[in-house]
A and B are shown apart, each in its own frame.
Chain A
Amino acid sequence: MQRSKTLQEAHLPLTTIGPKGSLDRSIGREILAYRDLVVFLARRDIKVRYQQALLGAAWAFLQPLLFMAIFTVVFSRIVKASTGDIPYPLFAFSGLIIWQLFINSVTSASNSVVSQQNMVQKIYFPRLVLPLSACVVTFVDFLIASVFLLGMTLFFGFFPSWRLIAIVPIVLLTLTLAFGVGSALAALNVRFRDIRYLTNFIAQLWLFATPVAYPFGMIPEKWTTLASFNPVTGLVEAFRWATIGSTDVDPFRLSVSIGMCIVLSIGGIALFRTMEPSFADTI
């Protein structure tokens, strides 16, 4: 029996696993090595979903469209939210699709690990692949809905301007935030299955705390400071500004969003990475 012979002479890449995990590779590199898996898991989920659903990919824009219809009745007719010269349905729809990109990414990422229990127990791969591919799936939905939004914008007589470019960083920020929050919830979900219910509840509450169905101006004075610290607020406003050219972006609220994105994504991923080694044993 040989002990502690090193593998230095070997020409193949070496991997060392100790009680703290792999000592050789950074998580970034590892995810990169598993990029095919991210794509294939996302592709599987999309394929399966659209195969089983009668209306298939149409759900990507039907869902925000239905919400839009409800919001139009409630906020435009009953509450009489003022959206300036932007038609209310357009206002609501643009807010809804970026909101749904965020919240659907969070909820499906938070369930991603427990729903792949079998894979987690049988095969090694960087577990962050799971929330990541969940975000890819919702991103695809978002792309489909975006095309619909573009059609709607043109229908209401708005023409996209150079500001459309801003969509790219806004969407990236939204996904980063959702990925961070979703990963944290996914890790906690492995340990406590209550997280699922909690997430659904918070999602409902969060929607109404975010100026998706109404403009920020409608929030009562005493709540505005608190509302400014909602990281999604700045993103929804910026997205609206970029797509339909509504009111200007508030620089403070956008900075809050960007700051929170960085803090929450780093924190979320760190929490996930800390809990990751015990997934297979506790799931």
Chain B
Amino acid sequence: MSTDPAIVVDGLSKKYILGEARSSSLREAIATRAKKSLGMIPRQKGREFWALKDVSFSIPSGQMVGIVGNNGAGKSTLLKILSRITLPTEGQVQFAGRIGSLLEVGTGFHPELSGRDNVFLNGVILGMSQRDVARRFDEIVEFAGIGEFIDTPVKRYSSGMYLRLAFAVAAHLDSEILLVDEVLAVGDIAFQKKCMARMNDVTRAGRTVLFVSHNLTAVQALCQRIIWLAKGNVVDDGPTATVLSRYLRQTDEGESQCHKAWSKGEGPTGGSMELREVSVRPNGGGIGDPIDVKTPFIVEFVVEHAGSNLPVTLDFKMVNEQDQLVFNNGPVGEPAAWAKGTHRLRCAIPADLLNDGMYRISLGLNEGGEQVIEAQNVLALDVLDNDADRYGWFGKWDGVIRPRFAWEREMIAAS
């Protein structure tokens, strides 16, 4: 692995004019031109939109870099410029060797042609030579798991087979630099596993990969470095763990909601109680620090109690992405009345309990068995995956929860 840069991006900007006529009819174009020159419609410039603005970075060869950012951050535009589909408005890109892009698998596939013909066609479209495709043909078919169907027209394929074959071709590109855009969401779990393993092999072979994905688990598992884009600018660029934790902390744009506080009189209120603050944070960390499946974390509620002799109970619920109630929990023991004052409730959730994904936390407070405060979805928490203990499997781990149990093995009979 050399340390020469494989890609140098320097001051890259891309401007789009919103509302500008794209492909149109001749009549419209002539009419518009005529009206403009006659002054019938004012000459107005379309609104400019900078999809990328002065983006610079350099990637050494052999590095796998993740590009993260919200929708509209400029990730796709960046890949489009790198893959030479569109040209930058300003700045330049320099790269060594060939760039292969997996922006869309199956481009150029023709339904009437057999799988075999399509593999060759698609390979050549993606920039391989005919000889390269021939050399890797068996590997591609093997990877796709198409087998005897290879000589059947692809219009008879199931959509899964079609996508697998398309991805298989792209995955066997020989280019020194690979651009990957969210293509790992293809096929069943077994195939995804294969894809991720393949991506891993690719970087181990010293190739440079730019990986755009919303699947932060995959980004985390595969990339050493992350470039975070927002509104066409590079917000952060550095080691995966550092950038990812900053990226996740940006609550205004992200989905996580790890902390809420209300001033007196403005919080959810009912009975003799008022909710003043809710938060979730990793044990020993700060609010907004990333939480993954192996991080124990703390949930805290601050409740102001005006004083009454009714026993107080609490419902603490966590709901997962599928809207399944993962648990409904509360303090154990005989419910008791609270004294007037501010109370803090704290609960530690152990590591190796939740699966990865988004969770919403709701809180219910009851006085004398009757619910007085109901704070629905008051917190949202993104439990990240952790690539430990995976041993090569990078797909979504099944299950509502993800506990780790102790297993024992003993051989009870020799054969």
Contact = CB atoms under 8 A, between A and B. Distances in A.
Contacts of A14: 94-96
Contacts of A121: 85
Interface residues of A, number: 50
Contacts of A2: 5, 8, 57-58
Given A15-B95, A119-B125, A122-B103, A21 B23 contact: no
Interface string A86-125: 0000000000000000000000000000000011111111
B101 interface: yes
A195 B26 CA distance: 8
Contact of B87 (A12, A17, A119, A125): A17
A161 interface: no
Contacts, number: 149
Interface in B220-244: 234, 237
Nearest to B132: A36
B83 A124 contact: yes
B25 A192 contact: yes
A18 B86 CA distance: 10
Given A10-B4, A52-B112, A118-B107, A19 B126 contact: no
Given A2-B58, A52-B112, A124-B83, A18 B25 contact: no
Interface stretch (A40-48, A229-237, A258-266): A40-48
B124 interface: yes
Contact of B117 (A39, A44, A190, A277): A44
Interface string A184-214: 0000001111110000000000000000000
Contact of B237 (A1, A120, A124, A283): A1
B104 interface: yes
A5 interface: yes
A19 B89 contact: yes
A4 interface: yes
Interface string B275-310: 000000000000000000000000000000000000
A281 interface: yes
* Interface range, B side: 35 or more
Nearest to B60: A2
Contacts of A192: 23-26, 29
B243 to A, nearest CB: 12
B271 interface: no
Contact of B124 (A37, A51, A122): A37
A15 B94 contact: yes
Given A7-B96, A13-B96, A44 B27 contact: no
Contacts of A43: 121
B74 interface: no
Contacts of B362: none
A21 B85 CA distance: 10
Interface in B1-55: 2, 4-6, 8, 10, 16, 22-27, 29
A15 B22 CA distance: 29
Contacts of A29: none
Nearest to B120: A40
A280 interface: yes
A6 interface: yes
Given A14-B94, A22-B84, A280-B80, A194 B117 contact: no
A44 B97 CA distance: 28
A12 B176 contact: yes
Given A44-B113, A192-B26, A282-B23, A1 B83 contact: no
A39 B120 CA distance: 11
B71 interface: no
A123 B86 CA distance: 10
A85 interface: no
> In the complex, which of the residues A52, A190, A281 has the most CB atoms of chain B within 10 Å of its own CB atom?
A281
A124 B84 contact: yes
A280 B4 CA distance: 31
Contacts of A191: 23-24, 29
B125 A37 contact: yes
Contacts of B91: 18-19
Interface of A: 1-7, 9-10, 12-22, 36-37, 39-41, 43-44, 47-48, 51-52, 118-125, 190-195, 277, 280-283
26 contacts: A1-B58, A5-B5, A7-B96, A10-B2, A10-B6, A13-B96, A15-B94, A17-B92, A17-B94, A19-B87, A19-B89, A19-B91, A40-B124, A44-B117, A48-B110, A48-B113, A52-B112, A123-B103, A124-B83, A125-B125, A190-B23, A192-B23, A277-B86, A280-B86, A281-B16, A282-B22
Q: Which 6 A-B pairs have the closest CB atoms?
A: A124-B84, A12-B97, A10-B96, A12-B96, A2-B58, A194-B26
Interface of B: 2, 4-6, 8, 10, 16, 22-27, 29, 56-58, 61, 80-81, 83-97, 99, 101, 103-104, 107-108, 110, 112-113, 117, 120-121, 124-127, 129-130, 176, 234, 237
